[in-house]
Each structure stands twice: as structure tokens, then as C-alpha cells.
Amino acid sequence: MRSFLPSLVLIARRSYGALIWSKKTLFFLAGCGLYAFAIAMLFWHRGDQADLNSLFAMPSLFFLIQILAPLTSMYYSISAIRDEISERTIVHLLSAPVPRASIWLGKFAASTAASITVLVIGLTMASLAAGFVPTDPAPGEELKPATVIAFYISGSIAPFAYCAVGSFLAVFFKRAMIAGAVFVFVWEASVGTFPVGAAARSLTVVDSVRTVLYHEVGDAGRLRRFLERWQAAGSIRKRQESEMRELSSACETLAWFVVASLALAVFVGRRRDFESAPKE
């Protein structure tokens, strides 16, 4: 334990710097700029749309929660580990007198912090863009801080689960980027839209993140109605009879994603031979 924590912090700090200053971060920041530009254009050409909270929340759900969050988290978490393996620098880490668990957990911490940094930058850009556009909403219809804060909360929670899954995929699979793409674009995108009664949907990160967002967003009525329709699989009758999952249940599911994925990553990473593996 005496060497575990210092090693974890040192690896996390070094990996965070390498990730956040990588060229791919420019691509993600460009995505953040596109997201902010879309918000500005929606506010500028809002026409008769007076509900600025819903106008901000709906594109934020798709751009921030369903696109930027999984893509940045999965790329950073996989890249943090696979780049070390590909460049053979992992040999120096594994030969150092540090616990292997500190390596994988340090990479997870760095990728999570880098993902949150990008998402916070994107959301801040979108909030500033919305604030700079001149609007004349009806009383009570202005963009409220609670709406933006809800996305800060959900956008900061999602990377923990996605990066934990990505860390496990990076340790377990040689072609981890392909596995990560399958997880995001097949499992999350497809299973995450299953009907409300499908038990498999609760095994997706996006289901729990949407639930957290639903409970945190109080002023974006259109978003809440959309999430209710999504929860009830579009059925009006079911929508009237059902409620979103409890917030505590969603947080518990996200916690299980993190704990289970990291436990598997540490278990596999302690036994896999990375030193003698050929350079990728």
C-alpha cells in the first residue's frame, strides 16, 4: 500500500498529460466547438420556440451525452493502455517496483479526468454560446442554471463507467479500439433503445446516465417528456402509468459498471504477459 498510492498518482498524472495534449484532443475539441455552434444557431433561429431550457437540453442530450461522452471516454481509456503496449513502454512500467494494479487504475483515473475535462470544456462553450445570443424569452422561460448544471453532473458521471469498461477492453483485447467501437455503436446504441421491459437495457451505461439526467433536469419540460417516451418505448398509455427508474438504482448500476470492469481489468492485467508480446 505504501508504494501503491504514490505509483497510482504518478502514473495518473503522467498519463493525463499525455492524453490531454495528444492530437486526438483537438478532434474532440472541434466536436465541442460544433456542439457550441449548434446551440448558438438554435438560439439565434429559435423562432416561436420560447422554452430555452428544452432548446438547450435536447441537442445537449445527443451531442454531449450520447456522442462526445462515450467516444472521448472510450478513446482515452483504451489509448492510455494500448499506446503503452504498442510502443513497448509498458515493459518499463511492469519492470518497475510498482504494483500492476496501480498501473491500470492510474490509467483509468487519467482517462476519466481527461474525458471529464473535454466534456466540461464543451458544455462551458455551449453555455457561453447560448448566453451570447440575444434572446427575449417570456418570463420564466429563460435558460436556467439548473438545466446546465444537470448536464455538468451527468456529463461528469458518464466517463467513470465508460472509462472503466474501456480499461478492461484495453487489457483484455489486442484490438481494443474495435471492441470499444462495438460496445459504443452496437451495445450502447442498440440495446440502449430497447423497450422499457427489456432487462438488457439496464446493462447499458446510457440507460443510467439518462435516468440521472431525467431526475436532475427540472426546467426542460420537453426533454423530460422525451425521456418519458423513451422510458415507455413510445407508448402513451405506458408513459402515463410508468415512471423513470429511481435515481439510486441508476447510480448503483453505474457503480457496478465501474467496480466490475476495473476488477476484471486488474485481474486480467496481473496475469497477462505484456513483456514478451511482440510490438503491435
Residue 228 is predicted with a pLDDT of: 62
Sign of CA dihedral 217, 220, 221, 226: negative
| DSSP per-residue codes, 155-223 | HHHHHHHHHHHHHHHHHH-TTHHHHHHHIIIIIIIIITTS-TT-GGGGGSHHHHHHHHHHHH--S-HHH
Q: Rounded to whole angstroms, how far apart are CA atoms 127 and 207?
A: 25
| E strand intervals along the chain | none
The pTM of this model reads 0.88
145-172 vs 69-86: helix axis angle to the nearest 10? 30
Is 54:222 a contact under the CB 8 Å cutoff?
A: yes
pLDDT at 94 over 90: no
DSSP 52-69: HHHHHHHHHIIIIIIIIH
Count of H helices and E strands in the chain? 12, 0
- Model pLDDT for residues 13-39, shown as the tens digit of each residue: 999 999 999 999 999 999 999 999 999
- Backbone φ and ψ of 272, nearest 5°: -80, 140
Q: Give 276's DSSP letter.
A: S
Tell me: the pLDDT tens digits for 113-160? 999 999 999 999 999 998 888 766 665 567 888 889 999 999 999 999
Neighbours of 2 (CB within 10 A): 6
